[in-house]
Amino acid sequence: MIHARHAALAALLVVTASVTVAGCASGGARAATATTAAADAAPLRVMTFNLRYDNAGDSGNAWPHRRDWVAGLIRFHEADVVGVQEALQRQLTDLDARLPGFARVGVGRTDGRTRGEFSAILYRADRLEVLDSGTFWLSTTPEVPGSKGWDTAIERVATWARFRDRRTGCRHVHLNTHFDHVGEQARQESARLIRRRLATLAQGLPVVMTGDLNADPRSAPYRILTRDTIADALPPLTDAFLTSRIGHYGPTATWNAFKAIEPEKRIDYVLVSGPITVRTHGILPDSWDGRFPSDHLPVLASLAVACR
């Protein structure tokens, strides 16, 4: 009789434990589903935009003629965060005045303060909170301001921010960069450096990378970022161009030289890693009376960034 009671009690405990585990698993699945649904209901609109530096020699395409167009384009397309390239301090000051509600992170590549081009990240402060941020140089001494490496022609940087989305509570890392326009070795090593740095910066969080890579999808730098296996590095990133739910919108190239869009010249990207769904992706051919706001076209992706 005692043995029968013990057997019955043991069976009851097993059933109770099974129900509890199943309930926890079910609750975890429901929480994950709820998080994904929340992210999908509040997509993050991410833009990458090479502004073309303020060069008086551009004549009618010089920055004073374009700054209102650039700001208007960002506002019209309702970008939440914009990774810019080639921006000088005075250009960022102009955008500060024209984009109320935006804040930014980043430093000049020449001195780590205000000199030289920025690869800054502009973001809507009512949508995103910066938890941490920084800049490193694409060189063999990444922490040394103004450093150059490999066969690069000029200093290059990557600026990053760890964000918390005020709508969803989810966190992610955004990195923005501009690869060298001359050095092929520099572009490849920059890609490897960024993959390794992102592994440390992200610590398992979703990642968004924006930038002008000066490399097309057939190139080695693109392959290193999106396909290669690298020890102690973030897993390969995914090109948002290829994974949009509704397919890509707009031209398939991003370079126009202030004249015409050049076929096959896609060198500006939004790349992602982790639990991120690409809802839409487009290259925006916006122009005013036949004039472009920059010599590059902006790229815009709507991303559902889930919590991890």
Residue 53 shares a structural domain with residue 12: no
198/285 same-domain check: yes
Q: What is the CATH number of the domain that holds 180?
A: 3.60.10.10
What pLDDT does 264 receive? 85
User: Based on the domain organization, do 192 and 257 belong to the same domain?
Assistant: yes
Q: What is the per-residue pLDDT for 251?
A: 98
Which residues does the chain have with pLDDT short of 50? 1-22, 24
5 with 126, same domain: the answer is: no
Q: Are residues 21 and 159 in the same domain?
A: no
User: pLDDT by residue (tens digit) across 263-288?
Assistant: 989 999 999 999 999 999 999 999 99
Q: Please provide the average confidence, as pLDDT, over all residues in the chain.
A: 92
Whether residues 28 and 107 share a domain: the answer is no
Task: Report how far residue 186's alpha carbon sits from residue 150's, in angstroms, rounded to the nearest whole number.
Answer: 5
Residue range(s) defining the domain that contains residue 161: 43-305
Q: How far apart are CA 226 and CA 248, in angstroms?
A: 18
Residues 53 and 8 in one domain: no
195 with 266, same domain: the answer is yes
Compute the distance between CA of residue 70 and CA of residue 94 in angstroms, rounded to an integer.
10
Contact 102, 127 (CB under 8 A): no
Output the pLDDT for position 28.
56
Q: Are residues 176 and 220 in the same domain?
A: yes
How many domains does the structure of the chain reveal? Answer: 2
Residue 3 has a pLDDT of 47
Rounded distance, CA 284 to CA 152, Å?
Answer: 29
- Phi, psi for residue 72 in degrees, rounded to 5: -65, -40
Q: What is the pLDDT of residue 184?
A: 99
The predicted structure's pLDDT at residue 14:
40
Query: Do 33 and 66 share a domain, yes or no?
Result: no
Q: What's the pLDDT at 34? A: 55
